[in-house]
Structure 1
Amino acid sequence: MRGHLIGTYGLLAFTAVLILVFSLALPDTFPTLRNLSSILSAQSIPAILALGAMIPIVTGKFDLSIGYGLGLAHVMAMHLIVGAGWPWPLACLVVILGGAIIGALNGVIVEFGQIDSFIATLGTGSMMYAVTGWITDGARIVPGPEGLPPAFTAIYGSTFLGLPAPAFYVLALAVALWLLLERLPLGRYLYVIGANPRAADLVGIPTRTYSIYAFTGSGLVVGFAGVLLAAQQQIGNPSVGLEYLLPAFVGALLGSTAIKPGRANAMGTLVAVAVLAVGLAGIGQLGADFWATPLFNGATLLLAVGLAGYAARRRLRSGASTRRERRRSAGVTGGRSETRPPSPP
C-alpha cells in the first residue's frame, strides 16, 4: 500500500518539496504571484506539447515530429495573417486542422507503411522543417507597422482570474484528455493497443485505425500550440520548434510514473510538467548558467525513461501476482476436495 501511494503521488510530493526549498532559498522572488504567473506563462506551450506527445505514447508509439510541427504551425499562422492577409480566426482554424491532417499522415505512414514510429516521424519532421524554410525563405516573418490584430495576441497575452490565459488552456486540455483516456471506450482501446497490440487485434480492436487517431490527436494539439507560439512571439521564426521537443518528451515520459504509474496519462503529465517548470524556474533564479537548462532536461529525460520502465515492469509484476492469487483462490474454493472418502472394509 505504501509503495502504491509513493508511486502514485510521489512526483506530486516532490513538486511540493521543490516549491518549499526554492521558497526558502529565494523568499523575495520565488513564492510570489508574479513568479507564479511567469512560470505558468512560460511553461504553457511546453505543457501543451507534452500532452500532445503523450497521446501516441499511450499506444506505444512516438511522434518525434512535434518540434518541427510546432515550428511549421507558428510560421504558417504568421504567413497567413501577415503575408496573405487572412482573418486571424480563419488562419488559426486552418493551422490547427492542418496539424491534425499532418498527424493523420504520420499515423498512416507508421501503420500502413510498417515503418517504426521513431524513423517515420523523424523523416516527416525533417520534411516539415524543409517546408518551413521554403515558406519563410530562411528569414523571419515580421508584421508591418500596424502589428498583429490585438484579439490574436490576446489569445496568449490575456489573463483570467489574475492568471495567464494559457494556463487555463493547459488545464482544459489535460481534463479533456483525462476524460477521453480514462472514461471513454476510445481511451481504453488505446491503452490496450499500447499494452499488447496482438491481444487488441484478437479481441477485434482495429489497431491501425486507433493508432492513426492517436497521431491525429497529437497533430491537432501541436497545431494549437503553434497558434499560441505565434501569438506569443509575434514573429515567424523558422528555427523555433526543436528546442521544445526535449521538454515535451520529458514531461510525457516522466508523467507515466505518476498518478497512474506504468502508463502514460494526462494528469501525470501535468504533474511532471509542474516539476520541470518549478525546477527550471528555481535554478534560473539561483543564477545558473545557460547550460544548466539543457543539462536539467537531459538528466530528467534519462531519469524519466528509467522510472517509466521500472513503473511498467512493476505494474506487470503486480498484475501477474494478482492473477496468480485469483487462480489460487479459484482452485481452493472451486476445486474438488482433497479429502478422500474412507476405503470400504
Structure 2
Amino acid sequence: MQEFIVSTARTVLSKYLLLLLALLLVVTFSVLVPDTFPTVTTARSILDAMVIVTILAIAEMLIIIIGEYDLSIGFVVGLLHILMIGLIVKQNIPWPLAIVLVLSIGTVIGLVNGILVYYFRINSFIATLGTGTIAYGLSNWYTNGQQLFGSLPKGFTNIYSAKLFGLPVAAVYVIVITSLAWFVLEYTKTGRQLYALGANRRAAELTGISSRKIVLGTYVFGGLIVAIAAIILASRLRTGSVSTGPDYLLPIFVGAILGSTTINPGRPNPWGTVIAVMLLGIGISGLQQLGAQFFVVPLFNGVTLILGVGLATYSSGRGGNR
C-alpha cells in the first residue's frame, strides 16, 4: 500500500508539477498582495499577456518536436503584425484581404525556413536566426523606425476584443489551437511521425517516414500559426511597432521547453506548453505587483529557461532509461 501511494505521488508530481507550482504561486501572491492579485483584473491581465505567447509557443513546440528550432518567430510575428496594420492604414486594403495576405506571407516564410534547414542543410539555429534578422530589417524598412497607427475597422479590432459564449475570444483562440495541436500529435499518424522523427531521424526514415515532408510541413504550419498570432496581436495593439516582436523570443522558448516537463514528461506537448506559459504569466504578474523593477522580467524568463532546459533534459533522460 505504501509503495502504491509513493508511486502515485511520484506520477502526479511528474505529470502535474508545473500546474501545482502555478497554483502555489497563485496562493503565495494572493497572501502577499491580497488587495490586487486575487482579482478579476489580474486574471484578465495574465490572460491578456499570455494569449500571444501561448500561440507562438505552440508553433515553437512543433518545431522542437522534430528536433529543430526556430529563432525567427519573434522577429516574424513583429514583421507580420506591422504588415497587418500597414496594409490596412497605408495601402488601404480591405482587412479580410489583408488577413489572407499576412497568412500567405507567414506560410511562405515558414517554407523558406524549412527549405534552408532541409535542402541546404543549414543548422536550424543559424538558418532561422538569419531569416529572423531579415524580417527585423524589413520591419525597420517598412516603418522607417516609426510606429504605424491609424483608423482600423471595427470588424478587425473585434478579432481580439469580441466575446464568444461569454468568454474573451482570445481565450477561445488559445483553446482551439492547443486542442487541434493536441489531437494531431496524440491521435493521428502525422503526430506519431513528428515525434518519431524528433527522437531518431535516421531510424524514422528507415521505417518509411518522409523527413522532407515532415520538416517542410512543420515549418510551413508553424509559419501559419505565427501569422495567426500576428493578426491577433495587431488587433490587440492596434499599432505596429518594430520593438514588439523580439520581446516574445525568450518567453516562447521557455514555454515550449518548460512545457515538456509536465503532462507528458520527457517530450514537448501542447497542454504542458499552455501550463508553462501560464506559470510565467502568474510569476511575472506577481513579481510586478510586489514592486519588482523592470529588469526582473528578463531575469525571471532567463532563469526559468535554464531550469526548463535542465528539467526537460532530466525528464527525457529518465524516460529513456525506463
TM-score interval (norm. to shorter)? over 0.9
The aligned counterpart of 1:210 is 214
Q: 2:25 and 2:66 mapped to 1: Cα distance?
A: 32
Q: 1:27 and 1:132 mapped to 2: Cα distance?
A: 42
The aligned counterpart of 2:193 is 189
1:65 equivalenced with 2:69 (yes/no): no
Q: 2:34 and 2:298 mapped to 1: Cα distance?
A: 26
1:297 equivalenced with 2:304 (yes/no): no
Deviates more, 1:125-134 or 1:279-288: 125-134
Q: 2:20 and 2:243 mapped to 1: Cα distance?
A: 37
SS at 2:202 equivalent:
helix
Q: 1:229 aligns with which of 224, 229, 233?
A: 233
Shift of 1:162: 4.9
Shift of 1:28: 1.9
Root-mean-square deviation (CA), in Å? 1.2
Letter in 1 for 2:14: G
TM-score, normalised relative to structure 1? 0.89
Mapped contact 1:111–1:208 kept (Cα < 8 A): yes
Alignment of 1:1-345 (within 5 A): 1=7, 2-143=9-150, 147-318=151-322
Q: 1:155 and 1:124 mapped to 2: Cα distance?
A: 28
Mapped contact 1:41–1:164 kept (Cα < 8 A): no
Q: 1:75 and 1:30 mapped to 2: Cα distance?
A: 33
Deviates more, 1:96-105 or 1:274-283: 96-105
Q: 2:312 and 2:87 mapped to 1: Cα distance?
A: 41
The aligned counterpart of 1:330 is none
Mapped contact 1:37–1:164 kept (Cα < 8 A): no
Mapped contact 1:71–1:241 kept (Cα < 8 A): yes
Report Cα offsets for 1:125-153 as digits up to 9, x if no partner: 1111122122222222221xxx2111111
The aligned counterpart of 2:3 is none
Q: 2:41 and 2:135 mapped to 1: Cα distance?
A: 37
Q: 1:37 and 1:249 mapped to 2: Cα distance?
A: 23
Q: 2:32 and 2:145 mapped to 1: Cα distance?
A: 44
Letter in 2 for 1:228: I
Q: Unpaired segments of 5 or more residues in structure 2?
A: 1-6
Q: 1:3 and 1:309 mapped to 2: Cα distance?
A: 18
Of all paired residues, the percent bearing the same amino acid is 45
Report Cα offsets for 1:281-334 as digits up to 9, x if no partner: 11111111111101100000000111111111001001xxxxxxxxxxxxxxxx
Mapped contact 1:99–1:223 kept (Cα < 8 A): yes
Deviates more, 1:25-34 or 1:218-227: 25-34
Deviates more, 1:114-123 or 1:128-137: 128-137
Higher Cα radius of gyration: 1
Mapped contact 1:37–1:163 kept (Cα < 8 A): no
Report Cα offsets for 1:83-112 as digits up to 9, x if no partner: 111111111121122111111110111011
Q: 1:164 and 1:28 mapped to 2: Cα distance?
A: 24
SS at 2:157 equivalent:
helix
Q: Unpaired segments of 5 or more residues in structure 1?
A: 319-345
Deviates more, 1:106-115 or 1:96-105: 96-105
Q: 2:166 and 2:33 mapped to 1: Cα distance?
A: 23
